[in-house]
Structure 1
Amino acid sequence: MKSPSHSVYSYLYASPSASHTASLDLGFGRSCAIWTNSDDYMRYDQLSGHTFSFYVRGGEGVWRVDERPVEGWPGAMCIFPHGQSSEWRITRPLEMVHLYLPDTEMRRMFSEWTERDSLSFSLADVTYQPAGGLKSSFMALHAALQESDPLRADMVMMDVVHHIISNDSISAVRLDRVKGGLSTRTRKRVVDYIECHLDEVIRLKDLADIADLSEFHFQRSFKESCGVTPQGLITARRVERARARILAGDALSQVALDCGFSSQSHFTRQFKAGTGMTPAAFRRAASE
């Protein structure tokens, strides 16, 4: 499983004391893993992406040493936001499940689900908080990892991210006007156009014309507002529509055509990049 060099996953992978027992690719740079560790010291510097961590077993004797020392416990949750730096001392055995999301994906999902500007989103640095309603979700993610079930893991990921985005104590939304990006009305017009024309060729110039901007300025403003490039959002929406159509039992050839993929091979490549599975594998997993 590939990950940025400064992700929590990469730091743990480089540690001789840490061991990952399972991992799954969830597409678009999203992934999850189960880790065990003991007697270790970890230092994270300017992390790439967001990490949501849940202690399945242990946690006692694990301290964050760059803050007021508080030890963990089974059922505790931590959040490592994008760009965070921290230091940890591990003195006893533990098992934890991790969910990883790139900053661009987190902002895209936030913008889509809340219809707010992605620039208004920020995520709290959380060290040891009761998982509460997320405990069952993290345990379901743990089970999906153990069973190598990416479809179940993907659905659990959506639940976890939606819960976190909706939790004011974890995620914060700036209510003041964010500088840069598209206006709320313009962003909605562009996104609505994309959603209505997923089965067609969507050109950057068409989207820029809707926003009354040059293609250069539109692309920059769109990414500031939605967290991803226009092509990134188009691909994500096509993959999501294709998922729904496959689950409904539609033929893969028809799904590729109706979701705007230029060929069956293009459909297969983009779908695997967005879900971690080929369309055929996704269909088999859904039918089991």
Structure 2
Amino acid sequence: MRGARHDSERYTGGVILSSAGRHWRGLSAELRSHGVGEIPSYVASFTQIAVLIRGASVVLRRSGGIRQRTVGIQGTIGLCPMGVHEDSTYVMHDIDEMLHIYLTPVPFAALAKHTSGDFSAASVRNDAGFHDPLIETIAGEILGELQLETSCGDILIETLADALAVRLLNNYSSLNLNPFPVTRGSRGLDPRRLQRVVEYIRANLAKEITVEELAAAASLSRFHFSRMFKASTGQSPSRFIGQQRLHLAKSLLVAGKSIADVAHICRFSSESNFVRSFRRATGRTPGQYRSLVRDRSVPVSSSS
């Protein structure tokens, strides 16, 4: 996401991890360290959420007409809405690890489309120094995908971007409303809808799959689909797709495809990331798995 890179140019701290090249949708992210010093002023291109991951922080901030001195511990959150002018930011204490999330306007536009409401990133409050268990959980999932790429990372991140937008509008905006109230005992998809979704996934495993496409297959809003799919299957759409692509990877390896080709077909950004993910899922490298199955004539579906 080019805009996210422009926003991040203001930072002087070192980049530890970045989503650049991952083909994420709805947001991008960086894990950074920050040394003592001033961060240049700028106008935010995206809605930014900063979550302190490790260490402590003391930050002086003048932004959008507010002045703040924020003392941070693990999980402390800061928001900077799209379009807000950050006049000055001064880091008074070295920050070991901070996750910067750059949320695009896309989830907000999708909310407006599916609800006919006037939902805009501009309504998000400019604030810092608070904690929110849900945002911290979402940040943890984003960080996990940064640390170890999966074959379903793009759809996982897209779902998390939608969840972030809803959370910000519900709890941290001038609108003070929830466009999608959560109800207990969410019903699942009926068998016909679920079958259509599963068939679509299996027919498109080697292609980009979006939440919007899956929701359309089920004739639902993207903001209701994920919850109903999980109620039906016990798995999130991203986890289900990840398992299906793992089975596909195993079959392709046994069929003689190169590891690089399998990585590409299964939607990984690099061969090395595929190898790490495959080993974590199976306990073996792709090459070891292929040799084991061929030597022992173990069926693909029954091998670990």
* Conserved 8 A contact 2:103-2:161: no
Match in the other structure for 2:102: 100
Q: Provide, for residues 162-219 of structure 1, a one-character-per-residue CA deviation record: whole Å limited to 9, x for no partner.
A: 25513523246699xxxxxxxxxxxxxxxx9x958836999xxxxxxxxxxxxxxxxx
The structural deviation recorded for 1:130 is 1.0
- Once the two structures are overlaid, the 10-residue window that deviates more, 23-32 or 80-89, is 23-32
Q: What's the secondary structure of 1:70's corresponding residue? A: strand
Q: Aligned partners of 2:16 and 2:246: how far apart in 1? A: 35
Distance 1:66 1:161, change over 3 A: same
Match in the other structure for 1:271: 267
* Conserved 8 A contact 1:3-1:9: no
Match in the other structure for 1:131: 131
The alignment yields a C-alpha RMSD, in angstroms, of 5.1
Q: Aligned partners of 1:106 and 1:124: how far apart in 2? A: 11
Identity of aligned residues (%): 8
Bigger radius of gyration:
2
Q: What's the secondary structure of 2:115's corresponding residue? A: coil
Distance 1:270 1:245, change over 3 A: closer
Match in the other structure for 1:55: 52
Match in the other structure for 1:73: 71
Q: Aligned partners of 2:198 and 2:157: how far apart in 1? A: 28
Aligned pair count? 225
Q: Provide, for residues 143-176 of structure 1, a one-character-per-residue CA deviation record: whole Å limited to 9, x for no partner.
A: 748x82245x96699568625513523246699x
**Structure 1 residue 89 and structure 2 residue 110: aligned?**
no
1:1-288 equivalences in 2 (<5 Å): 3-4=2-3, 7-12=6-11, 15=12, 18-25=13-20, 27-29=23-25, 30-45=28-43, 47-56=44-53, 57-64=55-62, 66-75=64-73, 76-95=76-95, 96-105=98-107, 107-108=109-110, 110=111, 115-117=114-116, 120-122=119-121, 123-134=123-134, 136-137=136-137, 140=140, 144=144, 148-151=147-150, 162=163, 165-166=166-167, 168-171=170-173, 198=200, 233-234=212-213, 244-247=240-243, 251-252=247-248, 268=264, 271-272=267-268, 282-287=277-282
* Conserved 8 A contact 1:48-1:82: yes
* Conserved 8 A contact 1:121-1:172: no
Q: Aligned partners of 1:196 and 1:143: how far apart in 2? A: 28
* Conserved 8 A contact 2:148-2:273: no
Match in the other structure for 1:181: none
Gaps of 5+ in 2: 178-193, 205-209, 218-235, 253-260, 284-304
The structural deviation recorded for 1:53 is 0.5
The structural deviation recorded for 1:269 is 6.6
Residue type of the alignment partner of 1:9: S
Q: Aligned partners of 1:31 and 1:255: how far apart in 2? A: 33
Q: What's the secondary structure of 2:70's corresponding residue? A: coil
Match in the other structure for 2:220: none
* Conserved 8 A contact 2:142-2:157: no
Q: Aligned partners of 1:105 and 1:24: how far apart in 2? A: 18
* Conserved 8 A contact 2:60-2:90: yes
Structure with more contact order per residue of length (Cα contacts < 8 Å, sep ≥ 6): 1
Distance 1:66 1:37, change over 3 A: farther
Q: Aligned partners of 2:245 and 2:164: how far apart in 1? A: 29
The structural deviation recorded for 1:129 is 3.8
The structural deviation recorded for 1:86 is 1.5
The structural deviation recorded for 1:90 is 0.8
The structural deviation recorded for 1:70 is 1.4
Distance 1:104 1:135, change over 3 A: closer
Q: TM-score, normalised by structure 2?
A: 0.52
Residue type of the alignment partner of 1:27: H
Distance 1:4 1:268, change over 3 A: same
Q: What's the secondary structure of 1:166's corresponding residue? A: helix
* Conserved 8 A contact 1:54-1:138: no
Q: Aligned partners of 1:283 and 1:116: how far apart in 2? A: 39
